[in-house]
Amino acid sequence: MTTIGLIGSGNIGSTVARLAVDAGHDVVLSNSRGPETLTDLVNELGPRARAATAAQAAEAGDIVVVTVPLKAYRAVPVEPLRGKVIIDTNNYYPERDGHIAELDDESTTTSELLQAHLPESRVVKAFNNIYFAHLGSLQRPAGDPARSVLPIAGDDQAAKQTVTEFLDSIGYDAYDVGPLPEGWRYQRDTPAYVTPYFAPGGDRTGPGAPVTAAQLKERLDAAVRYRDM
């Protein structure tokens, strides 16, 4: 099975780690506070999990999930990620990250910033448009009519295929939105961000609702219509 490196082990990172372990993958977790702070999570996940530094997690991972606050993206190690498939989960929250001019004027996107920081890596945007509790509850076997779809975007087709296969292994279908700049279509404050997976009535704390490819496409297209107004 694949080894998944995680740079960042917060809500999304720890949820991806649980799904990966349940699917039979090994995981190497890291955060900004040091491996010793991840002991409880590693013990919960079991023998397929271990804690490391960010550089060690980057080196160990066949796929590496970068799930740190956007303001910290420049601290992501570059050298050990050369040539690797990177899943970027980030969103831009100015109240947390401070204002970033090129995101405010929409001349680039969060994942393009990470790609520029990691020029020899292959960045794919995923996991950023779903609430972590729903991510951890909506997984379903292949062929299940209630299986949900998650959008992905990236410039490298082989990298997107790798991410699609990983998503399939943890219980999700992938919907290819296109090249990396198209990741804006499911970023914060778009119709495809978070709310499609809410339980009926918009209950964020509920078990979540399955989202089909057709439903996701409708939301992605709505983002384009809204932007073009």
The helix/strand/coil state of 62 is coil
Residue 99 lies inside a defined structural domain of this protein? yes
Residue 216 lies inside a defined structural domain of this protein? no
Residue 214 lies inside a defined structural domain of this protein? no
Per-residue pLDDT at 103: 96
For 33, the token pair is 């506070």
Percentage, residues of the chain above pLDDT 90:
93
Residue 32 lies inside a defined structural domain of this protein? yes
Residue 171 lies inside a defined structural domain of this protein? yes
CATH number of the domain that residue 174 is part of: 3.40.50.720
Residues 6+ apart with CB under 8 A from 65: 4, 5, 6, 7, 8, 13, 16, 86, 87, 89, 127
Residue 212 lies inside a defined structural domain of this protein? no
For 148, the token pair is 């949900």
Per-residue pLDDT at 205: 78
Residue 224 lies inside a defined structural domain of this protein? no
Residue 195 lies inside a defined structural domain of this protein? no
| Residue 229 clears pLDDT 60, i.e. is over it | no
Domain residue limits at 117? 3-183
Domain count, the chain: 1
Residue range 166-176: average pLDDT? 98
**100 Ramachandran zone, left/alpha/beta (phi>0; psi -120 to 50):** beta
